[in-house]
A = this chain, B = another copy of it.
Amino acid sequence: MKMQNLVQKIIDGNQLAGARLIRLLEEEDSAGIAMLKHLYPHTGQAFVIGVTGPPGSGKSTLVNCLIGEFRQRDMLVAVVAIDPSSPISGGALLGDRIRMRRHAKDDGVFIRSMATRGHLGGLSKTTRETVLVFDAMGYDVVIIETVGVGQDEVEIAQFAHTTAVVSLPGMGDDIQAMKAGLLEIGDLFIVNKADHPGADDVVEQLQAMLDLAKKSESDWRPPVIKTVAVNNGGIVELADTLWGHRRYLLDSGYFSEHNYKWEYHFFRQLVMEMVTDRIFDNAQVSPSFAKLLDDLKARKIDPISAAEKMLHTFLTQ
Interface residues of A (CB under 8 A from B): 33-34, 36-37, 40-41, 44, 54-56, 82-89, 92-96, 115-118, 120-121, 123-124, 146-152, 154-155, 157-158, 172-175, 177-178, 180-181, 183-185, 260, 263-264, 266-268, 270-276, 278-280, 282, 293, 296-297, 299, 302-308, 310-311, 314-317
Contact = CB atoms under 8 A, between A and B. Distances in A.
Contacts of A273: 272
B268 A302 contact: no
Contacts of A95: 173, 177
A271 B263 contact: no
Contacts of A276: 268, 271-272, 275-276
Contact of A173 (B94, B121, B157): B94
A157 B117 CA distance: 12
A244 to B, nearest CB: 24
Residue among A92, A280, A304 with the highest chain B CB neighbour number at 10 A: A304
Copies in the complex: 2
Which DSSP category, helix, strand, loop or mixed, fits chain A's interface?
helix
B303 A267 contact: yes
Given A263-B296, A276-B268, A87 B181 contact: yes
A72 B271 CA distance: 51
Nearest to A314: B317
Contacts of A93: 177
A149 B155 CA distance: 15
Contacts of A280: 268, 271
Contact of A86 (B34, B82, B184, B307): B184
Residue among A87, A185, A316 with the highest chain B CB neighbour number at 10 A: A87
Contacts of A184: 86-89
A147 B147 contact: no
Contacts of A88: 184
Contacts of A85: 177-178, 180-181
